[in-house]
Amino acid sequence: MLTIKNLHASVEGTPILKGINLEIKPGEVHAVMGPNGSGKSTLAQVLVGHEAFEVTEGEILFDGQNLLELEVEERALAGLFLAFQYPVEIPGVSNLQFLRTALNTLRKHHGQDELDAPSFMKLAKEKAKQVDLSPDFLKRGVNEGFSGGEKKRNEIMQMLMMEPRLGILDETDSGLDIDALKTIANGVNTLRADDRSFLVVTHYQRLLNHIVPDVVHVLANGQIIKTGDKQLAMELEEHGYGWLGINEAEAAG
């Protein structure tokens, strides 16, 4: 589904990713772990096309398409979804308006009829319930005044609505208590399917107790230095990144 070959990316001339190779097959959940500053979030942002990052070398194929040639919105329509680490607040645009526009754009792209207001509301309420988000949030501005946890739930709720081909979670677990973590993991797990994959970017192993990965990669200094199964995550939890010879302070720059 996703093939990353020798990916190099930099921000304002500073190289961050230095030759990433990664292959995600349909139905797989991959975890990318690594210390702060290793390039985990950059990888997530590059995949969805954030302008701040310049791809200097390598290629990304998504379902055979050259992802780097697609605009941000085209990538989303192709089936990529990033659950942001720090979702922005957009006062004045209601969650409802935002979600409905996004969902109907996607439906139109797939040749489906747009959802009318009542059907949309029904669906949105159902998905909000799945992540324990009160329907009142739908009327508020996008993420406006949401707590950290509410923002994360809102990201997962959007993912449940959009049903992407590849869901990318960027440190979705950070700042969550255990109950919220479970709720969010449940939300993600309900989406798991043979033709849907996930890339879970996280610093800690605890999320992976609930979203069990097929493959775990360790990213350090812009490269994948080790790949294994879920056992690798547990070992990292036990021994820390130093175990792999990574100096965390140095990696963080």
Residues in contact with another protein by the rule CB under 8 A: 48-51, 71-73, 75-77, 81-82, 84, 87-88, 90-93, 97-98, 101-102, 105-106, 109, 141-142, 158, 162
Least Å distance, CB 74 to another protein, is: 8
Could you tell me the smallest distance in angstroms from the CB atom of residue 248 to another protein? Answer: 28
Minimum distance between the CB of residue 76 and another protein, rounded to whole angstroms? Answer: 4
Nearer to another protein, 38 or 143 (CB): 143
Toward another protein, which CB reaches closer, 21 or 104? 104
Cβ proximity to another protein, 48 vs 233, nearer residue: 48
195 is written with which tokens? 């033709």
The upper half-sphere exposure of residue 114, i.e. CA atoms within 13 Å in the direction of its Cβ, equals 8
- Mapping DSSP to helix (H, G, I), strand (E, B) and coil, where does residue 161 land? helix
Q: Which of 45/183 has CB closer to another protein?
A: 45
Q: Note whether 126 and 138 are within 8 A (CB).
A: no
Closest CA to 142 of 92, 200, 212, 71: 92
Whole-number Cα distances in Å, 242 to 40, 238, 250: 17, 11, 11
Helices (H), 110-177: 117-130, 148-162
Least distance CB 112 / another protein (angstroms): 13
Q: Between residues 74 and 235, which has the closer beta carbon with respect to another protein?
A: 74
- The C-alpha atoms of residue 17 and residue 74 are separated, in whole angstroms, by 23
| Least gap, CB of 106 to another protein (angstroms) | 5
Q: Please choose, from the candidates 149, 160, 154, the residue with its C-alpha nearest in 3D space to the C-alpha of residue 138.
A: 154
